[in-house]
Amino acid sequence: MLPVDVSEADAKGGRKPLKVLGIVLGVIVALLAVVYLAGALVFMDRFLPRTTVGDLDVSLKSSAEVQGMLADVIDDYVLKVEGQGFSLKLSAAEAGMRLDGRAATDAMHASANAWAWPLEILKAHDESDKLAATYNESGLGDTVRAAVDEFNKTATPPTDAVIAYSEAKGAFIVEPEAVGTALSYDAVIKAVDDAVLALQPTVKLGADVLQQPKVLSSDPKLTAAAEQANTMIKADLVLTMAGGTAGEVNADLISQWVRLGDDLSATLDEAALTAWVDELAAACNTVGTQRTYTRPDGKVVTVAGGVYGWSVDRDALLNLVKESVAAGTVQTAEVPCTSVGTGYNGAGAQDWGLRYCDIDLAEQYARFYDETGALIWESPIVSGIPDGVHDTSVGVYWLNQKASPSKLIGYENGKKIYESDVQYWMPFVGNVIGLHDADWQSSFGGTRYRDGAGSHGCVNLPPYKAAELYGIIQSGDVVVSHW
């Protein structure tokens, strides 16, 4: 018997389990590789587990199956939009929705990594956003816009925060903004888009879809504007004429002129302020206007015309008001005028003082009243021939001057028609028409002025009466000639 090497035999027997283990592991790896490759190939066309598109579960579905499911959903899809008083039903056809199923599934596969399926199957996959490109260019937006525009025709638009004058507080305050009921198209279409992306059947519109004010009460510019406006209304400008109040610029009036500018600053409405100044000026201007007054003897007289009276300096008045308001000035000031009278009782009334000369053409009588209104001189007269050419001018005038003696020369059509020497010349219409002595008149008063003895426009007086008046009347005295 030959000897045996036990250690060598044991070694050969020990290799067999290791070889078997290696073969087993190789088979497992091969199987896993096959499974992995098979899974990758499957998920090239089928969708991973836990994959959804809106409310659809497309797990393990093929591209063709998913395309069919999407087509069915789109064909039957109706979206009901409700909220904030708005209601709209949208079908896929009405909205012009179209779905390119192939493009949608291709986009879904592009975002999924089939080669990483062992890990991806553990995750949830929402592919709803892959539908967006299929309808963003459709008629959905036009349909929603038309519905929103129609709704907004009767809706209340939002109002911005503004500054407003509070009569109770006597000051400008910030009035808060208000949302209203009008819808924002952009907000509504976003809500609709989100619902369509998820293929949801309904969408509830909340307050976030309402149009929002652009200017909020929290804007510090509004507070600054209110402060600025309150500085303006501090002004209290009392405008006087001849000691009487003609107008007042106060808070109630100024508040009507304050406007909120585009930059949220408080500004004055120049047009409104100017209109008020023009109205005041027109009311205060009396030159040539019609006045009705009661003469001291009780006769009511209406007269118009002449060059006497108050004429407001409109530009100076406008500047005075603007500057006073801007600075918040409190003061009493005379209305600036280019021409002033001796008294003022408002438009349409006597705008001269108690002292004046009254020439009554109807009565053919003249009177002079002193500063107290007392009658201190009177006389019958002979006035101009009432032929439309030589009539004595009517209206309110100043006495321009006095001259003693004086030579009166009259012209018609460039020819001298008379030349008269008078002792007392008191003109009130330029240096052409005036009161003067007329020793050639045999009598005065009555109807002589229209019975052949009328003048060429002047007011003829008896010589001694002319002398008396000459000693009383002064340049600048008011002369009222009327019928």
DSSP 198: T
Of 284, 357, 458, 482, the catalytic one is 458
Six-digit token string for 217: 């009460």
- Sign of the torsion angle spanned by Cα atoms 395, 397, 403, 406: negative
**Distances, alpha carbon 311 to alpha carbons 50, 284, 351, 368, in Å:** 93, 7, 12, 25
Q: Rounded distance, CA 355 to CA 341, Å?
A: 12
Of 109, 436, 456, 482, the catalytic one is 436
Task: Give the DSSP H/E element, type plus range, for residue 228.
Answer: helix 220-232
- Residue 458: active-site member: yes
CB 208 within 8 A of CB 226: no
Q: Rounded distance, CA 274 to CA 322, Å?
A: 9
CB 37 within 8 A of CB 56: no
CB 111 within 8 A of CB 237: no
Which residues partner with 435 through β-bridges?
426, 459
- Residue 436: active-site member: yes
Six-digit token string for 74: 């789109």
Strands 78-83 and 202-204: parallel
CA triple 463-355-239, angle to 5 deg: 150
Question: b vs e for 33-53, b when ≥16 Cβ sit within 10 Å of the residue's Cβ?
Answer: eeeeeebeeebeebbbbbbbb
Q: Rounded distance, CA 186 to CA 188, Å?
A: 6
Amino acid identity of residue 241, one-letter, is M
Nearest to 403 by CA among 429, 378, 436, 433: 436
CB 199 within 8 A of CB 104: no
Residues whose CB falls within 8 Å of the CB of residue 36, separated by 6 or more in sequence, listed in order: 118
Task: Give the number of other CB atoms < 10 A from CB of residue 396.
Answer: 28
Residues designated as active site:
436, 458
